[in-house]
Amino acid sequence: MNSLAMSLESEISPRQTFSALASEHHRMALLYARTLAGEEHTARDLTQDAFLSAWQNWSRFDVTRDFSSWLRGIIRNKWREHCRKNSRESAWDEEALSRLEDTLKEMPQSGFFDQLKDCLDKLPETLLGPVLAHYYQDLSTAETADQLNTSEAATRKRLQRARAALKTCLTSQLSHS
């Protein structure tokens, strides 16, 4: 049972409900903001602002709707606002944003990172090696290539294939569940 459902069935204050939802969704919200903004600092600010706006407009939230997609909508608006204010060109056009939204709807929102780990475990060795070296040992693609005795282009390709495989795995996990 998620936080929202729990709050409906018990006498938990709105603030408690909201805090629980923040706990449940903050990592995914941060991840989404980082995908849009491309860097950590702006992403954190955007997400903080988005949560605050969500809280200020809590009375307007329709409990039958999905909290995560509502929050993503706020983050998107904050991101557009940020780009306008800073005369910054977003790398995401509306079509790309809507495609990303479709993908995210197919992904598990709760326990996402646990599922990501499960998917990682399922990767074949040839794809897992570059992922571990690049993401988890903090090696550049050149260093990863060096460690795996392969070319940098091949490493980049393998990383891309690994990410595609992870995406497929994550979306199929949701459909299974």
Partner 1 sequence: MNDDNFIDQALKEHARLEAKDDQAFLDQLEEALDENQQQKMMKHKTKPRKGRSPMLAVAALILVSCAALAIVMLNERLRSNSNGDFAVMEKSASPESGAVMPSAPIVPLQVLAARTPLRDQQADQELAVLRRELEDSIVETAKQGPKEAALIMPADPLSPPKPAEPIPLESSKAESRAPSRSSNKDARTRFKDSTGKGFGFRDSDQTPGKGFGRDVKGNNGERYGQLVETSFLSPLQAPLSTFSTDVDTASYTNIRRHVLHGQTINPNAVRIEEMINYFDYSYPQPEGEHPFAVHTEVASCPWNEKHRLVKIGLQGQRIDQGERKAANLVFLLDVSGSMSNADKLPLLVQSFELLLKQLNEDDRVSLVVYAGRQAVLLDPTAIDEGGRLQVSKALQNLSAGGSTNGAAGIATAYELARRAFIPGGVNRIILATDGDFNVGTTSPEALLELVKKQAEGNISLTVLGFGQGNLNDGLIEKLTNGGDGNYYYIDSLREGQKVFQSGLTGTIQTIAKDVKIQVEFNPGKVAHYRLIGYANRRLRDEDFKNDKIDAGDIGAGHRVTAFYEIIPTGVDTTEIPDGLKYQKEKKPVVIPREIVDSPEMLTVKLRYKQPDGDVSTELTQTLTDENGSWLKASEDFRFASGVALWGILLRDSKHAGSGNSELVTKLALSGKGDDKEGQRTEFLDLLRRWSARR
Q: For 151, list phi and psi in degrees, rounded to 5.
A: -85, 160
Question: Residue 140: which region, alpha, beta or left (left: phi > 0; alpha: psi -120 to 50)?
Answer: beta
In the list 113, 151, 153, 172, the residue contacting partner 1 (rule: CB under 8 A) is 113
Whole-angstrom Cα distance, residue 101 to residue 95? 10
The pair of three-digit structure tokens given for residue 134, joined into one six-digit string? 């690049």
In which element (H, E) is residue 12 found? none
Regarding 31 and contact with partner 1 (CB under 8 A), the answer is yes
Q: Which of residues 4-23 bind partner 1 (CB under 8 A)?
A: 13, 15-16, 18-20, 22-23
In whole angstroms, the minimum distance from the beta carbon of 138 to partner 1 comes to 4
Question: CA 81 → CA 33, 34, 53, 175, distances in Å?
Answer: 13, 15, 13, 34
Choose the stretch contacting partner 1; rule: CB under 8 A; options: 30-38, 63-71, 72-80, 148-156: 30-38
Regarding 152 and contact with partner 1 (CB under 8 A), the answer is no
Query: Where do we find the tokens 């780009």?
Result: 83
Give the footprint of partner 1 on this chain (CB under 8 A): 13, 15-16, 18-20, 22-23, 26-27, 30-32, 34-35, 38, 40-41, 44-45, 47-49, 51-52, 55-56, 91-92, 96, 99-100, 103-104, 111-114, 116-117, 131, 135-140, 143, 147, 160, 163-164, 166-167, 170
